[in-house]
Each structure stands twice: as C-alpha cells, then as structure tokens.
C-alpha cells in the first residue's frame, strides 16, 4: 500500500535536490555521526483532553463511504473513501486523495491508539523506519506531539557546492494536535467541531563546505476529525516543483453512508 501522505518525504527530498542553492566554498568538516535534524519544535504544554478515546474520532465501518469535495489552488476535484474489512482493522481506499490520485491505507487500533500498521520507509533508503505509526493517540490532548522521524541524513545528495563532497540533509516528520475548530460541512451535513491534527514534514539541505544556511522546506497536512463522522476535512500545503510557490489542496466532507 502507498505510504500515507503525512509520512511521505520523497517529494520533499526531490524538490530540495532540484532547487538546491549553490553556495561558495568554505571550511568546516561535516560530522558523520548521526544526529537530530534540529527541525522538530519543542513540544507545547499539554492542553485539555479533546477525546478520551481516539476511536471516537475514527469510526471503523466496513462498507461505509465518505465523499469529499475539494479544490487544488482553485481547481475542483472529488475524493471518495470506502472502508473494507482487513485482518487487522480496516483498509481505506481513496479515489483521489488530496488530488494526488488513488491510494489506500490500513488503519487499526493498538493499545487504544489509532495506528497505521504498515511498515514505513520514511527517507526512502530501503530500511523500515517505523511500523504501527500512531495517527491518533488516546487520550487525544491538545498540544500532544509525536515525532516519527528526526535525523540528519549524511551524504544524501550529490555535491552541489563544488567542494568534492556529498551534501547532507536534515529531515523531520512529526504530528501535533492543534485543538478544536468549527468545520462547515457540505451537502446537507451540519457544521461540526473538528479536532485538528497537523502532520508536518520539514527538509533542509546541509552543505558540506559550510556557507549559507539553506532554506527549510515544509509540507503540512492537516486533518480534522469529528465524533460520529470521522475525518471531516483534509488540507495539504506543500511546496510546488520549484520549491518557491505553494500547492494547497483542501477537501471537505459532503456526504457519508454506512455509519
């Protein structure tokens, strides 16, 4: 199954490689010891409990269907989501997830948390970085932050600053529970109070020869969950292929059946 978008860093890596800024040479050797990226923020203080059980925000109902109307930088699209029974939890099938095409993901419950069991290779090096990635942790509390990946990838890119050495790359993937927000649903559905969770991917090229600090590219996928409905809104804000402009896709629930 394709990697869930909030854990997919390959696109960001490709954009960084394409728009890498070439700096003049300079001194300084890169430390080859694995180290954190420095891109993960300090977790905020935990706030109020928004849901005692994560499953109250993420219904499992094989046969259920959710339909979303969306737009990408003003261009409309539709995404239909269906659940089917799986050996563990359910499989979710998307016809056009965030206007990026068909996708599917397995979702299950483990120790009271909503998880995605499939092993994930976040940095694309062929090695599994985590399994049972937590999508929602019980209890769901405002400010709760989960770090999926936080590392400087040594010599991840070809030499771009002309010093004869490969460049490294800081990569971080983490989530944070933002809080409750009102979501106006489409069709005949009402407005609801959704729990917003942001999943953030950050990447930054690190030149082996020193020089100017390279810009940090950020992609943020926000998901709003509501009792009785599940996911009611999705939004992804990510760099375009130039690394300068932005591509924003938003989809909102307009109908649901089978719950």
- Give pLDDT tens digits for 131-178: 888 999 999 999 999 998 898 888 777 767 667 788 788 888 899 999
Q: Give the span between the Cα atoms of 201 and 217, in whole angstroms.
A: 8
- Give pLDDT tens digits for 31-43: 334 689 999 999 9
pTM of the model: 0.86
Cβ–Cβ < 8 Å for 177, 140: yes
Cα–Cα distances in angstroms (integers) from residue 172 to residues 116, 202, 248, in the given order: 19, 5, 20
Instruction: Retrieve residue 116's tokens.
Output: 């995605």
* Strands 113-116 and 103-110, bridge-based pairing: antiparallel
Instruction: Retrieve residue 149's tokens.
Output: 């990946």
| Alpha helices (H) along the chain | 10-19
Mean pLDDT of all residues in 208-214: 72
Longest dimension (CA), the chain: 63
> Residue 156 — left, alpha, or beta (φ > 0 → left; ψ -120 to 50 → alpha)?
alpha
Cβ–Cβ < 8 Å for 154, 168: yes
Instruction: Give me the domain span that covers residue 216.
Output: 5-257
- Give pLDDT tens digits for 62-94: 999 999 999 999 999 999 999 999 999 999 999
In total, how many domains does the chain have?
Answer: 1
Q: What is the CATH number of the domain that holds 60?
A: 2.40.360
């Amino acid at each position: 199954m394709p990697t869930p978008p909030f854990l997919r860093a390959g696109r960001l890596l490709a954009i960084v490689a394409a728009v890498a800024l070439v700096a003049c040479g300079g001194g300084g050797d890169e430390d080859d010891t694995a180290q954190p990226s420095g891109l993960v923020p300090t977790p905020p203080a935990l706030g109020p409990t928004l849901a005692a059980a994560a499953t109250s925000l993420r219904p499992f109902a094989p046969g259920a269907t959710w339909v979303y109307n969306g737009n990408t930088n003003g261009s409309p699209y539709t995404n239909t989501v269906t659940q089917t029974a799986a050996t563990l939890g359910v499989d979710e099938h998307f016809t056009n997830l965030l206007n990026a095409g068909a996708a599917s993901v397995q979702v299950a419950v483990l120790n009271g948390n909503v998880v995605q069991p499939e092993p994930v290779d976040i940095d694309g090096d062929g090695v599994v970085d985590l399994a049972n990635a937590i999508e929602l942790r019980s209890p769901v509390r405002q400010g709760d932050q989960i770090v999926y990946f936080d590392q400087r990838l040594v010599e991840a890119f070809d030499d771009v600053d002309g010093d004869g050495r490969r460049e490294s790359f800081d990569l971080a993937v983490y989530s944070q529970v933002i809080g409750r927000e009102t979501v106006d649903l489409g069709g005949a559905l009402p407005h609801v109070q959704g729990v917003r969770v942001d999943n953030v991917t950050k990447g930054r090229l690190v030149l082996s020869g020193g020089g100017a600090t390279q810009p940090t590219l950020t992609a943020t996928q926000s998901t709003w969950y509501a009792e009785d409905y599940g996911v009611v809104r999705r939004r992804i804000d990510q760099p375009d292929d130039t690394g300068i402009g932005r591509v924003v896709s938003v989809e909102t629930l307009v109908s649901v059946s089978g719950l």
